[in-house]
Amino acid sequence: MRSVTYSMGVSLDGYIVGPDGDFGWTAPGDEVFRFVTDEIREVGVHLLGRRLYETMLYWETADQDPSLDDSMLEWAALWKALPKVVFSTTLSAVQGNARLASGGLAEEIERLRAEPGEGDIAIGGATLAAEAAELGLIDEYRARVHPVLVGGGIPFFPRRERRVDLELVETRTFSSGVVYLRHRVARQAV
């Protein structure tokens, strides 16, 4: 069965975006960028909320930007080819290799898990990830923890009333001070 993963950059105090909406501190250096590029190769489909979808639209035409280096062009090609499902109540159409979700998040994930296919089902965006976490649909949390405290904003982890036990799967420390933490949700055998 395909795993559902939530992977994003996060401040040490737990936010993906600061209180002023800034997330420039998550811009990866070369080493982290290569890592994120390798990570996206393992994704079979990416689920996005509207805000992240709109932020990532740049990469749909980034191959036309003459200022991009080879590594960014490689990322753009991978992102552009990746199937994406966008969850939005305000968009009526999406661009590129994307489609609007036709049902709820749980139904969409169930359908994607049942389809033949390779690669993880990645979730991007805090609001969508919070909904998936609340429904118990996330299998792995992958945080690239940046050495910065932003003091507030949009949290990486949803605020909820229940405990979720995790198993550490992988760690990695980058020369920039970014620390990668990969945790699998510890599921109870039924």
Query: pLDDT tens track of the chain, all 190 residues?
Result: 799 999 999 999 999 989 988 888 888 889 999 999 999 999 999 999 998 899 899 999 988 989 999 999 999 999 999 999 999 999 999 999 999 998 899 999 999 998 888 899 999 888 899 999 999 999 999 999 999 999 999 898 877 777 899 999 999 999 999 999 999 999 876 5
Provide the CATH number for the domain around residue 38: 3.40.430.10
**Total structural domains within the chain:** 1
Domain that holds residue 108: 4-185
Residue 112 lies in a domain: yes
DSSP-derived secondary structure for 22-48:
--GGG---HHHHHHHHHHHHTEEEEEE
Report the distance separating Cα 69 and Cα 163, nearest Å: 43
Q: Is the pTM of this model over 0.75?
A: yes
Residue appearing with tokens 């990695």: 172
Is residue 79 a contact partner of residue 72, using CB atoms and an 8 Å limit? Answer: no
Is residue 31 a contact partner of residue 165, using CB atoms and an 8 Å limit? Answer: no
Residue 190 lies in a domain: no
If we measure between CA atoms, which residue out of 131, 90, 92, 79 comes closest to residue 109?
131
